[in-house]
Amino acid sequence: MSKVSANRMKVTFLGTGTSIGVPVITCDCPVCVSTNSKDKRLRTSIMIEVNFRTFVIDCGPDFRSQMLRENVGDLDAVIFTHEHRDHIAGLDDVRAFNYVLNKKIDIYGSDQVIDAIVTEFPYIFSESRYFGAPQLTIHLINTDPFTVFDVEFIPIKVLHEKLPVTGFRIGDFTYITDASYISEEEKEKIRGSKVIVLNALRNSKHVSHFSVNEAVELLNELKPEAAYLTHLSHFVGLHEEVNLRLPEPVKLAYDGLKIII
């Protein structure tokens, strides 16, 4: 995997599916039996390559296979949006980077996220740390902008029903997943982004996620040059058919999609 130039940012969609992925186990709907690779969705995550650094936002249970698929040779940090297992469950697999590259991996998250990670992975943080456990350096974040190496991240606070989730703006790129509400104050942090990624779980209304129509309405308000929907369930429909119905500049993201900003 090659690094991109210092003045450009490359975003790779590692996964674009909901918490149970697509296809869904036992389901024989048209999406789940589709042979189109764009209808196969691992759990939601992205990789950002910028300023000769490589970051991953969220590492769910498919993290290992996503790293292998993209032939990732280095990782500088993992930044977490929230503590649900489909966004943190792959953390143990950063061990490979520890072993091969002989370095710790920096992780960034709110107090709530880090507390959940410590609870889910006690063997990583115990005083008598297991020899094979991942080696991590923890960085707590809040609502203030923070820098990962020399790259600035602006936190965007959203709600996943009642659960606080953090989206991020990096330069002209904004990434938000697992949201059902964004305040006017937080929208101001997003405005002016050239590219916005937003979650859209299904076509009908949902208590903790935007629907496709709600996401499109919000994107029409924010007016990016390009927009991608992620965290998609099989209820959204077939990739090719849905894309034909979406208004410009909105498109469905898909696993393996790469964009340069």
pTM beyond 0.85, yes or no: yes
- The Cα–Cα gap between 175 and 167 comes to 6
Q: Kindly report the average pLDDT of the chain as a whole number.
A: 96
Range of the domain at 225: 9-260
pLDDT tens for 36-61 read 999 999 999 999 999 999 999 999 99
Let me know if residue 158 belongs to a domain: yes
Let me know if residue 3 belongs to a domain: no
Return the CATH number at 146: 3.60.15.10
* Look-up of token digits 């950002």: 48
Q: List, in order, residues 6 or more apart from 169 with CB less than 8 Å away.
A: 153, 154, 156, 175, 189, 190, 193
pLDDT tens for 82-125 read 999 999 999 999 999 999 999 999 999 999 999 999 999 999 99
| 3-state SS assignment for residue 239 | helix
Let me know if residue 163 belongs to a domain: yes
Let me know if residue 1 belongs to a domain: no
Dihedral over alpha carbons 170, 89, 121, 167 (to 10 degrees) = 20
Strands 195-199 and 226-230: parallel
What pLDDT score was predicted for residue 118? 96
Alpha helix locations (H) across the chain? 63-69, 85-88, 95-101, 111-120, 122-125, 184-190, 212-222, 239-245
pLDDT at 1 over 80: no
Please give the share of the chain, as a percent, with pLDDT higher than 90: 94
| 3-state SS assignment for residue 126 | coil
pLDDT tens for 130-181 read 778 999 999 999 999 999 999 999 999 999 999 999 999 999 999 999 999 9
- The Cα–Cα gap between 100 and 54 comes to 16
Question: How many domains does one find in the chain?
Answer: 1
pLDDT tens for 10-35 read 999 999 999 999 999 999 999 999 99
Let me know if residue 2 belongs to a domain: no
Q: Roughly how many angstroms between the first and final C-alpha of the chain, as a whole number?
A: 18
Strands 146-148 and 9-15: unpaired
Let me know if residue 4 belongs to a domain: no
Strands 173-176 and 163-170: antiparallel
